[in-house]
Amino acid sequence: MNATTLAKTAYSAPDQATRTARGTEYEVFARITHRLKTAAALGDAGFSTLARALHDNRRLWSTLAADVAGPGNLLPAPLRARIFYLAEFTNQHTRKVLAGDCGAEVLVDINTAIMRGLRQEGGAS
């Protein structure tokens, strides 16, 4: 793809709404959660796919934990603490899933709850 083609495609849908930060967060959660569900449904045959999805989910939650721990985060302190706790729980539970001690369903449930909250409080435009 050359620069002219890229320029044309960049402006091909000017009527499309610009995605908000909340919408971007929702989209990332949705993609990773879908991958977790799909990989978990494959059972043992999908372990490598599940491991990659778990890795990405862990990276997402680590990023969120770092963000809410930062001094510039404007979320209320109780919400920041809950998000940080969920990040810690997700990390610990991921280890158990990778060890074969439990399934990924809880992680899917947590992500789905976060997605509901993101939709409810501003939507994913």
Q: Is 50 within a domain? A: yes
Q: Is 125 within a domain? A: no
In Å, what is the CA distance from 9 to each residue of 14, 19, 24, 27? Answer: 10, 17, 20, 21
3-state secondary structure of 66: helix
The pLDDT value given to residue 122: 47
Report the pLDDT averaged over residues 78-100: 97
pLDDT digits (tens, 9 = 90+) for 21-50: 889 999 999 999 999 999 999 999 999 999
Q: What is the CA radius of gyration of the chain?
A: 17
The pLDDT value given to residue 7: 52
Cα of 10 vs its chain's centroid, Å: 26
The pLDDT of residue 83 is above 80: yes
Q: Is 82 within a domain? A: yes
Q: How many domains does the chain have?
A: 1
Token readout for 6 is 């890229």
The pLDDT of residue 78 is above 70: yes
pTM for the model: 0.80
The pLDDT of residue 98 is above 50: yes
Average pLDDT score over the chain: 87
**Contacts with 83 (C-beta within 8 Å, 6 or more apart), sequence order:** 64, 65, 68, 75
Work out the percent of the chain whose per-residue pLDDT is above 90.
75
DSSP per position, 107-123: HHHHHHHHHHHHHHTT-
How far separated are the first and last CA of the chain, in Å rounded? 28
Q: Is 100 within a domain? A: yes
The pLDDT of residue 18 is above 50: yes
Residue 69, domain extent: 18-120
The pLDDT of residue 125 is above 70: no
